[in-house]
Amino acid sequence: MDDSSKDIRIISFSGFGNSGKDFVCSFIWEHFPELSLKRFALADYLKELIAIVLGVTVEEVDKLKDSDPEFRQRIIDFNFGGLKKYDPNMLVKYFIQKFEQNPFNYIITDIRYPGEKQYLERWAKESCWSVRFNSVYIKPRLEDQDKINFNCGMSILPSQCDLTLENNSNLRVLKENLKDILRRMDLL
């Protein structure tokens, strides 16, 4: 590891819904706790906003999202029809605000759009913090293709990310693939 390991690290995960982004984040916590990475999901802020608008709890929004495909689609529509029209980087700006209140190493589990990634990259370069930003595309396991949510509005491509994690085998292979990616980011 070089001196850049002292920099604050922000890693973004991209991929379709149910491709394993949160699982990989949890796997990193469990198998690489020395990295001290915190999870941040842009969608959590979106769910907080929706809970406020509907007058319900975030847990109730989660239950509705998981049980009602139409409600999940309405969340996506709210993001595109409202937030993204007002400010396409609103959710990323919220992350930056939270980061500046508590600078730490983060994994953002849901960067879905090229503009969000570009905004974060630009901010990392211009920030007063010494931030190193890496983006990782999570490829889903082949046997999980029927569970993937291809309607989540995601438009970022694997070629637009710095690295791609093949999540297409058993946990031992996943750990080796993650080790390789973490080494390429100078984290191990």
Q: For the chain, give every domain's residue range.
A: 3-184
Residue 17 near residue 110 (C-beta atoms within 8 A): no
- The pLDDT assigned to 52 comes to 93
Q: Are 145 and 22 in contact (CB under 8 A)?
A: no
Classify residue 94 as exposed, middle or buried by CB count within 10 Å of its CB (0-12, 13-18, 19+): middle
Cβ neighbours for 100, distance < 8 A, ≥ 6 positions apart: none
- If pLDDT is split at 50, 70 and 90, which confidence band does 145 have? low
* Tokens representing residue 155 in the block: 């438009």
Alpha carbon dihedral 20, 66, 147, 25, in 10-degree steps, equals 0
pLDDT at 3 over 50: no
8 A C-beta contact, residue 45 and residue 91? yes
Inter-residue contact 44 to 25 (CB < 8 Å): no
d(CA 107, CA 21): 10
Per-residue tokens: 50:
């929706």
pLDDT digits (tens, 9 = 90+) for 120-141: 999 999 888 888 889 998 887 6
Convert the pLDDT of each residue in 38-67 to its tens digit. 999 998 988 998 999 899 999 999 999 889
Contact criterion met (CB below 8 Å) for 186 and 2: yes
Label the pairing between strands 163-166 and 131-139: parallel
Using 50, 70 and 90 to split pLDDT, how confident is the model at 151? Answer: low
Structure tokens that stand for 87 in this block: 């400010």
Nearest-5° Cα angle at 156, 27 to 146: 60
Rounded to whole angstroms, the Cα distance separating 38 from 50 reads 24
CATH (one of 1.10.287.130, 3.60.10.10, 3.40.250.10, 3.40.50.300) for 3-184: 3.40.50.300
